[in-house]
Amino acid sequence: MGSLGTMLRYPDDIYPLLKMKRAIEKAEKQIPPEPHWGFCYSMLHKVSRSFSLVIQQLNTDLRNAVCVFYLVLRALDTVEDDTSIPTDEKVPILIAFHRHIYNTDWHYSCGTKEYKVLMDQFHHVAAAFLELEKGYQEAIEEITKRMGAGMAKFICQEVETVDDYDEYCHYVAGLVGLGLSKLFLAGGSEVLTPDWEAISNSMGLFLQKTNIIRDYLEDINEIPKSRMFWPREIWGKYADKLEDLKYEENSTKSVQCLNELVTNALMHIEDCLKYMAALRDPSIFRFCAIPQIMAIGTLALCYNNVQVFRGVVKLRRGLTAKVIDRTKTMADVYGAFYDFSCMLKTKVDKNDPNASITLNRLEAVQKLCIDTGVLNNRKSYVDDKGQPNNVFIIMVVILLAIVFAYLRAN
């Protein structure tokens, strides 16, 4: 649930953490009895607990479609990520993957841990896919086909320019945004705006760029071959080789490169806010909004943070629980984006090469949120300073003393 030290430092996290723990336990107990659906939901819990929790917001038909969609793309991603698969073997699999989802006999052994299980028993996912309504099937097949082709393209070429970067992120995440919009439309829950394709794409790009920034060290240390998604057009200003950024002697340049990539990701925020503001179904809104808030929070943590090149940087579990607990309306989203953009703004070094661009983008986001007129009378996500609450500490000590005395007596 979280370390005792962290809970003492952030006592406001405890109630949301307990609620999230209970929600996860409840979701794990609601595994469908049918073997193929049971496998799908069990696997979803294993590969992404937070996603499996958020998906519970959706109605049954849409939840099943999104679950299958997620696992199909996870399987496709597992093939792409496995650097031990020879290129001449990997590319045909990626290109033909949209056909495999109709074949309950198909499987391909690759990946590690739970992803290997997903690939070895992919027939369960195919069986579940075949039970979906035709509208859902068509949307999933189309996006899988386009994504597989895009992944195959970038297996054979590196991400050189910022345009390449946007194109790669479109294939692996922007298409997810488009696919989800198609599923929402097929389920009759939403009406798409005229610019839905562009802003759906931005929803995916914002999440993907956040992941690529955060996962630099994991990707560059991948065995047997590094995965390199940062565009040379940006990192080439700061280093001769992308892996050089992880070395301590290059810390100043590394952080400047990191900051430019975060600044690049900020350009998608206005589209994301427009997309979420147009959603009508409260459950779909929460499903879409929670990951977006976690993304802006993660960018705020990563910005100007050399730890991105040393280890794992991520939101503390208690803050994630708060986001899940508090995100109910668009006012909550505007509040969260305002708070995290303010947090990020305080970290901008005026001597950073991209400081003026970063500040301009942050101020545009802040103005957009302020102009909605909904920022008053709300709880801030980041206003606590992480200071221990003395009364709370005393209560914990007393409670532990009571528990210890009870155990001694029995």
Does the annotation count 214 as an active-site position? Answer: yes
Catalytic annotation present for 168: yes
The residue annotated as part of the active site, out of 227, 232, 326, 378, is 227
Is 287 among the catalytic positions?
Answer: yes
Annotated catalytic residue: which of 287, 334, 337, 340?
Answer: 287
Which of 10, 39, 41, 168 is catalytic? The answer is 168
CB-CB neighbours of 211 under 10 Å: 15
pLDDT of residue 24: 78
pTM above 0.95, yes or no: no
How many CB atoms sit inside 10 A of residue 397's CB? 10
- Residue with tokens 């009378």, as numbered in its chain: 377
Cis peptide before 224 (omega within 30 of 0): yes
Q: Which two tokens stand for residue 205?
A: 């790009």
pLDDT of residue 116: 96
190: left (phi over 0), alpha (psi -120 to 50) or beta: beta
pLDDT at 57: 78
Radius of gyration of the chain (CA): 22
Runs of H (alpha helix) within 246-389: 251-266, 269-277, 282-302, 317-326, 330-345, 355-371
Q: Please pick, among 41, 74, 184, 214, the residue that the annotation labels catalytic.
A: 214
Please state, in angstroms and rounded to a whole number, the distance separating the CA atoms of residues 94 and 152.
6
For each successive 10 residues of the chain (410 residues), what is the average pLDDT? 62 83 78 93 87 84 96 96 92 97 96 95 98 96 97 92 97 96 91 91 98 94 85 97 96 98 98 96 94 97 97 90 92 96 96 98 97 82 54 57 64
355: which 2 tokens?
């400081």
